[in-house]
Structures are given as C-alpha cells and as structure tokens.
Amino acid sequence: MEYIIKILEIESLSENIKKIKTEKPKNYNFVSGQHALVSINKLELKYKKRPFSISSSDKDDFLEFIIKIYAEGKITQQFNNLKKGDALIIGEPKGKISYNGKGVFIAGGTGINPFISIIKYLNKSEMKKNFLIYLNKTQKEIILESELKKLFDNNAIFILSREKKVGYGYGHIDKNFLKKNINNFNQNFYLCGPFKMIRELKQTLIELGAKQEKIISEI
C-alpha cells in the first residue's frame, strides 16, 4: 500500500540537512525505529524511491524525515527543491530497529534518524539510562547535537573522523575505543549507519562479548 502525503513544513537543520514534516496517513502504524520507501509525487520522480527512516515518534500525529542532500545525489538533490504543499509518496513502514530496553546507541551520520524517533518515544528517566556514540565526518554534520546532549543527559560521545576539535573524539571506533568506553557488553546495542561500519562494529562487539540477539540493526 502507498500513501500520498502533503509536506507541512521544511526546516534546514544545516547546510545540507533538511527536516521534512508531513501529514500522517490515517491508520499508518509504525514502530519508532522503522523506515519507509519514499518518493516525490511528481510524474518523473514518483517511481524513484529511496528508504528514509521516520524520525518522528510513533505517538505523533505527523511524520518527519531528516534527509541529507548529497551534492551528487540523484534523488536527494530533488528533495532539496521541495516546498511546503508539495507531496511525497510513502510505502508501508518496515525494518528491524525498535527499542528493546536500555543500551548503547551507535550511529553514523543520518543513521541517527531511527534513534531520534525512539528517543522521542521514550520518557526522560528511561532515556537517561542509555548511552550514545555518534560518528560524523565534521561537527557541522552532526544532526541535532544540542538536543541529543540534553536527551541523553550528556551520556554521549561525539566522534569526528575528519576534524580535530576540543570536546570531540577523533578517528574511527575500534576495539580499544569500545573497551575503554563501555564496561558491560551484556546489554543491548543499537547500530545504524553505513553498512560497512555496522558490519565491522557488529563483529567487534561480538568479539568483546556482546550477544548476537542483543545487537539491533538493519543488517
């Protein structure tokens, strides 16, 4: 089933990140953490679907998507031209990410989006039990940095791979980093980001004692 939904609001979160708020179809039931195939409701674009995580909470009466516009992105460049009142086409929600209890969230870039939905759905005291590790190339690319710091009660590490900055980690996450920053591997791990990063992280977490069934990701 597909739904045509009107855009209610577009906000630029940074130079190349847009937050798009849309109508929510009646009876559109998703679980915070899921994504859907989305296209633009224009003749030449409606079959060009891409998966996007839903970043609003399943309790909201609207939908929200946070979309990174790539300079060479065939489809995201088109999202850059959208305005209030234009329409999107959205498929049924899908995906394996959902909240299973306290744990460590590890995200890369727009991989934070399903977690934003989960965070919005959790109450404050549950939220504070969780820990976030968020990787980006530069500080400018971090999505909703101050909100995330507040929501995680500063229980968050931000890592930059292409910029050295006071207050931020630098480089990539490896075994040593995980050992140093996580003292219990028998807990939930929520992973979302580039497939290569997730595949490698999953392997490393298992080597450190994490349980396969407690690693929640799309892979």
Residues that bind ligand FAD (CB under 6 A): 35, 50-53, 66-68, 70, 72-76, 110, 113, 194, 218
* The two structure tokens encoding residue 100: 């299973």
Which 3 state secondary structure label does DSSP give 126?
Answer: helix
Position closest to ligand FAD via CB: 73
Nearest distance in Å: CB 51, ligand FAD:
4
Nearest distance in Å: CB 95, ligand FAD:
6
Which 3 state secondary structure label does DSSP give 127?
Answer: helix
Nearest distance in Å: CB 73, ligand FAD:
2
Nearest residue (CB) to ligand FAD, 67 versus 215: 67
Nearest residue (CB) to ligand FAD, 19 versus 178: 19
Nearest distance in Å: CB 161, ligand FAD:
12
Q: Which residue has 């396969």 as its token pair? A: 212
Nearest residue (CB) to ligand FAD, 19 versus 189: 19
Distance CA 58, CA 62 (A): 9
Quick one: which H or E segment has residue 183? none
* The two structure tokens encoding residue 163: 């910029």
The three-point CA angle 93-38-57 to 5° equals 45
